[in-house]
Amino acid sequence: MAAGTNIALLEASERAERRRFLALPMPALLLTAVICIVPVGILFWVSFVGPEGFTLENYTRILENPGYLKILRTTFSISITITILAILLGFPLAYYISTLPDRAAAICLGLVLVPFWTSLLVRTYAWLVLLQRQGLINDFFLWLGVIDEPMRLAYNRFGTTIGMLHIVLPFFVLPMFAAIKSLDRDWLRAAANLGASPVRAFWTVLVPLTIPGLVAGALLVFVYSLGFYVTPEILGGGRVTMVAMKVQQNATIYADWGAASSLALILLIITLAIFFGIERVLRRQRGGGN
């Protein structure tokens, strides 16, 4: 048979196959479009429309009102603190679990996941039971005689940070565990064999090779922290106001949907900017080798 036989037919069959594969994620794509993109589009619209048509009033107010800036600053500084703490606590934990035999590792991961199976509200109140003035922790230290009067653990930034950290930690440990587990164990053995102490091997081999997992986990934790509402509301005792709480106030107490939308959009835009910024830095690092 001559060269060139069946070309058109084979191309058509490849196109048909690609179309069939595209059909598989279609339901998910449609659902996302309806329940995510459409509402965000409406928010966007509402934030630019006042009683007299198009307006930037919602945005200029946020930039001019120091109260709003303070809320944004609080939101980001709490989220950054929590991200750093999650890395400091989660990395060693993920590393330790990765060295355990399969069965023990499964049990430990199960324990890490337990917080996922309880309601966020329940967990937050549980922290209140522990941290409040007559809570378990204060009672214990008073009984020991380490302190003379109860410490202020709840209804402030400290309590908020602890409560949020507990909730977001699994989001860091899981991707970190996956990243460490996928490492060739021989890399760490080679580092040791070549004379690197465990600490040195950690910094020169384990950390550089698990950066993608670390960044993925840290981003998840950071972005999730930005949107917290219930935990700072309960554990902050009115002293900690995060963006989501202000959005809720504007929408339900003042019925000012324009103000609520603009704040939500600003948070979304800053988050996306950070996300793409980190993505870019990472890609450049990987491209440059070494």
Partner 1 sequence: MSDARGQTIAIRGLGKRYGTVEALAGVDLDIHRGEFVTLLGPSGSGKTTLLMALAGFIRPTEGSIAFGGQEVVTLPPHKRNVGMVFQSYALFPHMTVGGNVAYPLRVRRMPRAEIGRRVADALALVRLSEFAERNIDQLSGGQRQRVALARAVVFHPQILLMDEPLSALDKHLREEMQIEIRHLQRSLGITTVSVTHDQREALTMADRVAVLNKGRLVQIDAPERLYGAPATSFVAGFLGETTLLDVRVENGVALLAGQALRSEQRIAGGDRPLHLVLRAEKLEIVERHDQPGYNVIPAQVRELVFQGDSLLLYVEIADGRRIALRRPTAGHRSQAALQPGASIHVALPVQETLIVPCDRDA
Q: Which residues bind partner 1 (CB under 8 A)?
A: 184, 186-187, 189-198, 200-201, 204-205, 208-209, 289-290
Query: Between 5 and 290, whose beta carbon lies closer to partner 1?
Result: 290
The answer to whether the beta carbons of residues 169 and 86 sit under 8 Å apart is yes
Query: Between 119 and 197, whose beta carbon lies closer to partner 1?
Result: 197
3-state secondary structure 31-50: HHHHHHHHHHHHHHHHHCEE
Phi, psi of 71 (to 5 degrees): -65, -45
Query: Between 203 and 254, whose beta carbon lies closer to partner 1?
Result: 203
Query: Between 167 and 191, whose beta carbon lies closer to partner 1?
Result: 191
With CA atoms as reference, report the closest residue to 81 among 221, 176, 216: 221
Query: Between 22 and 281, whose beta carbon lies closer to partner 1?
Result: 281
Distance of CA 114 to the CA centre of its chain: 18
Least distance (Å) from partner 1 to the CB of residue 210? Answer: 10
Tokens representing 118 are: 């309880």
Q: What is the largest CA-CA distance in the chain?
A: 96
Least distance (Å) from partner 1 to the CB of residue 100? Answer: 16
Least distance (Å) from partner 1 to the CB of residue 191? Answer: 8
Least distance (Å) from partner 1 to the CB of residue 90? Answer: 22
Query: Between 41 and 198, whose beta carbon lies closer to partner 1?
Result: 198
Least distance (Å) from partner 1 to the CB of residue 95? Answer: 17
Q: Report which residue type is found at 273.
A: A
Least distance (Å) from partner 1 to the CB of residue 30? Answer: 40
Burial class of residue 58, CB neighbours in 10 A (0-12, 13-18, 19+)? buried
User: Which residues, at least 6 apart from 217, have a Cβ–Cβ distance to it below 8 Å?
Assistant: 86, 87, 90, 171, 172, 173, 174, 175, 176, 179
Query: Between 80 and 215, whose beta carbon lies closer to partner 1?
Result: 215
Least distance (Å) from partner 1 to the CB of residue 184? Answer: 6
Distance CA 151, CA 71 (A): 26
Burial class of residue 272, CB neighbours in 10 A (0-12, 13-18, 19+)? exposed
Phi, psi of 49 (to 5 degrees): -115, 120
